[in-house]
Amino acid sequence: MKRVLITGAAGFLGSHLCDRFIKEGYYVIAMDNLITGDLKNIEHLSANDNFEFINHDVSEHITIDEELDYILHFASPASPIDYLKIPIQTLKVGSLGTHNLLGLAKAKGARMLIASTSEVYGDPLVHPQTEDYYGNVNPIGPRGVYDEAKRFQEAITMAYHTYHGVETRIVRIFNTYGPRMRLNDGRVLPAFIGQALRGEDLTVFGEGNQTRSFCYVDDLIEGIYRLLLSDYELPVNIGNPDEITILDFCKEITKLTGTNQKIIYKDLPVNDPMQRQPDITKAIELLGWEPKVNRADGLKITYEYFKGLSEEELTKVEHKNFDEYVK
């Protein structure tokens, strides 16, 4: 039985990865310090003999006694509000955490996949974004702690690959949605649905002309799985190229939820990317992958998940509003 270590395992994407690897017959070691993750996302796996959970911060030294075949590094705050609230931890998990895990991969002879992000492209001057685009990032802006942590993560991963011969894979993840997202983490989809469910007005930043491309979580996990098992070591975009403006997306959510709240507009946050659309040519050609779930179907599933949350979860306020952090 092959063994895989998944960091950030109690988070949105990490928990879905745990499900996938258990389904594929792997022994899964899940690691998370629960700074943004939630054990409820993986509690359904706790009785499985092929699953174990370790509460640990990957920025500290990591010890795994058993052999490992694969490491998937998904530990990191992932929403703007999170990494503005805990900027040092965000930088450390992308730098020290990645360094620790690459050392572990080297010692174990394991293949390691890192979760990079479309944020390495910053506010892009190239559209759609291809993997050979270097990006337009402000390293000292409010988003710099996340953007530069991920850019460093890619750099040290390639250094370990070229200098130490560690087998590595890099996935650049574009906006992803689905069950187990945190309702109040500040990302646009749960923000809109949460406001709709609470009967609040829906908040759009700027005029809503900025674009995003939303990929359903099952599609993303399939792309990551295929990339891990591929022979390609350079970054690969995984996302859905179906682009939509934030204002139109807000209207879709309003229609989906059957609400009649008004849309209110606030100032656009500093360095908020105006365009996000992946060029997935490499994923199609190298992995035979492209998204299958259309946005309408994926949103219905996600909405049903959020509707099932308790009143406490629905009204829980985790952080201040994003715009309060960037003024």
- What CATH number did the domain enclosing 75 receive? 3.40.50.720
Residue with tokens 């609470």, as numbered in its chain: 198
What confidence category does residue 142 fall into, taking pLDDT thresholds of 50, 70 and 90?
confident
Here the tokens at position 177 are 């949605």
Distance in Å from the first CA to the final CA of the chain: 51
Distance CA 177, CA 36 (A): 16
Q: Which helix (H) or strand (E) holds 248?
A: helix 246-257
Q: Are strands 243-245 and 211-213 parallel, antiparallel or unpaired?
A: antiparallel
Distance CA 90, CA 142 (A): 12
What confidence category does residue 186 fall into, taking pLDDT thresholds of 50, 70 and 90?
confident
Are the C-beta atoms of residues 107 and 236 closer than 8 Å to each other?
A: no
What confidence category does residue 138 fall into, taking pLDDT thresholds of 50, 70 and 90?
very high
The residue type at 288: G
Q: Which helix (H) or strand (E) holds 55?
A: strand 51-55
Which CATH number belongs to the domain containing residue 268 in this structure?
A: 3.90.25.10
Looking at the structure, tell me whether residues 318 and 261 fall in a common domain: yes
**pLDDT tens per residue across span 199-258:** 999 999 999 999 999 999 999 999 999 999 999 999 999 999 999 999 999 999 999 999
What confidence category does residue 323 fall into, taking pLDDT thresholds of 50, 70 and 90?
very low
The alpha carbon dihedral of 157, 163, 169, 173 has a sign of positive
Which of 282, 267, 200 has the alpha carbon at shortest distance from 237? 282
Looking at the structure, tell me whether residues 167 and 199 fall in a common domain: no
Looking at the structure, tell me whether residues 201 and 81 fall in a common domain: no
Distance CA 315, CA 313 (A): 6
Active-site residue among 27, 70, 83, 146?
A: 146
What confidence category does residue 327 fall into, taking pLDDT thresholds of 50, 70 and 90?
very low
Looking at the structure, tell me whether residues 206 and 166 fall in a common domain: no
What SS3 class is residue 84? Answer: helix
Is 199 inside any structural domain?
yes
Looking at the structure, tell me whether residues 200 and 147 fall in a common domain: no
pLDDT at 81 exceeding the cut of 90 = no
pLDDT at position 185, please? 82
Is 91 inside any structural domain?
yes
Q: Print the domain residue range for 153.
A: 3-176+215-238
Distance CA 76, CA 7 (A): 9
Question: Would you tell me the crossing angle of helices 246-257 and 188-198 to the nearest 10 degrees?
Answer: 40
**pLDDT tens per residue across span 255-288:** 999 988 889 999 888 777 888 999 999 999 999 9
pLDDT at position 311, please? 78
Looking at the structure, tell me whether residues 141 and 11 fall in a common domain: yes
How many domains does the chain divide into? 2
Is 280 inside any structural domain?
no
pLDDT at 306 exceeding the cut of 90 = yes
Looking at the structure, tell me whether residues 69 and 109 fall in a common domain: yes
pLDDT at position 320, please? 46
Here the tokens at position 91 are 């930088």
Round the average pLDDT of the chain to a whole number and report it.
93
Looking at the structure, tell me whether residues 196 and 93 fall in a common domain: no
146 is catalytic: yes
Here the tokens at position 112 are 């390691």
Is 306 inside any structural domain?
yes
pLDDT at position 245, please? 96
What confidence category does residue 318 fall into, taking pLDDT thresholds of 50, 70 and 90?
low
What confidence category does residue 317 fall into, taking pLDDT thresholds of 50, 70 and 90?
low
**pLDDT tens per residue across span 19-54:** 999 999 999 999 999 999 999 999 999 999 999 999
Q: Residue 325 to residues 35, 94, 273: CA-CA distances in angstroms?
A: 19, 21, 17
Distance CA 214, CA 28 (A): 28
Looking at the structure, tell me whether residues 168 and 196 fall in a common domain: no
Looking at the structure, tell me whether residues 157 and 267 fall in a common domain: no
Which of 181, 195, 220, 192 has the alpha carbon at shortest distance from 37? 181
Are the C-beta atoms of residues 142 and 271 closer than 8 Å to each other?
A: yes
Q: Which helix (H) or strand (E) holds 211?
A: strand 211-213
Looking at the structure, tell me whether residues 153 and 40 fall in a common domain: yes
On the CB side of 69, CA atoms within 13 Å amount to 10
Is 15 inside any structural domain?
yes
Is 56 inside any structural domain?
yes
Are the C-beta atoms of residues 174 and 278 closer than 8 Å to each other?
A: yes
Is 290 inside any structural domain?
no
More confident residue, 225 or 310: 225
pLDDT at position 222, please? 98
Is 45 inside any structural domain?
yes
Looking at the structure, tell me whether residues 121 and 190 fall in a common domain: no
Which of 154, 148, 159 has the alpha carbon at shortest distance from 106? 159
Q: Residue 135 to residues 8, 80, 237: CA-CA distances in angstroms?
A: 26, 18, 14
Distance CA 234, CA 271 (A): 27
